[in-house]
Amino acid sequence: MKRTRNRPIPAGVIAPNQVLAFGLTLSAFSVITLGLMVNWLAGALLAFTIFFYAVIYTMWLKRSTPQNIVIGGAAGAFPPMIGWAAATGEITWDSLVLFMIIFLWTPPHFWALSLFSSTDYEAARIPMMPNVKGELSTRRQALFYSIIMAPVGVLPWVLGFAGPVYGAVSTLLGLAFLYYAWRLWAAGSQPAMLAAARKLFRFSLLYLSGLFAVLLVETLAVKALAAFGVL
């Protein structure tokens, strides 16, 4: 794939067996370190995430179904749960909400990418949604997941573990995401569709990073103000 051909393995800089040995060593070290230094719930979640991504997604789902990034998206959604378990020692509804935000964000993000990279994916024999179900179906499903994701993105404020700043920003970001997803769905020509897909892909990066940045900054700001007796 043009997008990945300069990475170490495709470029021939590192041999696959070297990467496997390094990956297994690093994975074992990270799980054991997290378990011993933090807690074993976080360590177990990390171990499951590594296994899910490397084996379930990469070795099985990625080349066997157009739903690869829907199911496999769980691997990318586990990190907030790992962090939450590391900080609190438990899995709560709050951490599950953060999981769901990333899980629902993954399909429109990657399907937008696959729409303007479909030739690349087809050449690599990866059955992404546009190559299997067609562009129209992909655009429709991207909008569907966006409609579900937008209100879920506001839930941290609704449930009370995020403040009003997050509530306002997440609402605006969600509406903007829906706008870009709708533009993709409604695109009437191939050039318009490709342009809309690129815009949705770029905005999806801003959406997720902005959402978690605001959540973090507002939480830290509230704690700092409380420590100084302002709140």
CA Rg value for the chain: 20
Q: What is the pLDDT of residue 49?
A: 97
C-alpha 13/C-alpha 112 separation (Å) is: 30
Q: What is the pLDDT of residue 215?
A: 96
Q: Which of 72, 43, 69 is nearest to 141 (CA)?
A: 69
| Alpha carbon separation from 139 to 106, 203, 231 (Å, rounded) | 14, 16, 46
Question: pLDDT digit string (tens) for 89-125?
Answer: 999 999 999 999 999 999 999 999 999 998 888 888 8
Q: What is the pLDDT of residue 120?
A: 86
pTM over the 0.85 mark? yes
C-alpha 211/C-alpha 231 separation (Å) is: 24
Element of type H or E holding 208: helix 190-227
Question: pLDDT digit string (tens) for 124-144?
Answer: 889 999 999 999 999 999 999
Q: What is the pLDDT of residue 200?
A: 98
C-alpha 219/C-alpha 231 separation (Å) is: 13
Contact between 122 and 114 under an 8 Å Cβ cutoff? The reply is no
Residues sharing a CB contact under 8 Å with residue 176, sequence separation 6 or more, in sequence order: 203, 207
Residue 8 Cα to chain centre, angstroms? 23
pLDDT in tens, the chain (231 residues): 777 778 888 888 888 899 899 999 999 999 999 999 999 999 999 999 999 999 999 999 999 999 999 999 999 999 999 999 999 999 999 999 999 999 999 999 999 999 999 888 888 889 999 999 999 999 999 999 999 999 999 999 999 999 999 999 999 999 999 999 999 999 989 999 999 999 999 999 999 999 999 999 999 998 888 888 776
Contact between 8 and 57 under an 8 Å Cβ cutoff? The reply is no
C-alpha 170/C-alpha 163 separation (Å) is: 11
